[in-house]
Amino acid sequence: MNPTIVFVIIALIAGIALGMFVQSLVGRIKRLEEIARLAEEVAKGKKHCYPTIAGIEDAQAVSLDVLLQTTQFLEFVKARAQKELEILGEVRADPHGYKDQPAGRRPNI
């Protein structure tokens, strides 16, 4: 193969690779400029008014209350399921040996 053709092919491939690299760098620079612009907008941005902040805080309080109530309910379900497993374990161990007894005091929810 002619050395000139090989040199031209290598130069063409190197040029394409270099062009792709430069294009990638330009894209990254544009993204960084956009991020800087958005950060500046956020820094200068309009702050929420007091009623909006109060509403957000109230919504957060409701969410935390729901989470707490859900956790307590799941603990209640777990305790009752454990008691059920104990009763069934007794029945399984000796079908005629189960002593009828109250299931236990239920917690107030």
**The Cα angle at residue 105 between residues 102 and 108, in degrees rounded to 5:** 150
Q: How far is Cα 22 from Cα 26, in angstroms, rounded to an integer?
A: 6
CA dist 41 to 36, 45, 71, Å?
A: 9, 5, 40
Per-residue pLDDT tens for 74-103? Answer: 888 888 888 888 888 888 888 787 777 666
What are the φ/ψ torsions at residue 91 (nearest 5 degrees)? -65, -40
CA dist 22 to 33, 37, 83, Å?
A: 16, 22, 69
Where are the domains positioned within the chain?
A: 1-45, 48-96
Per-residue pLDDT tens for 28-59? Answer: 888 888 988 888 887 787 777 888 889 989 99
pTM of the predicted model as reported, rounded to 2 decimal places: 0.42
Q: How far is Cα 21 from Cα 24, in angstroms, rounded to an integer?
A: 5
Q: What is the pLDDT of residue 1?
A: 67
**Residue 94 structure tokens:** 């000796």
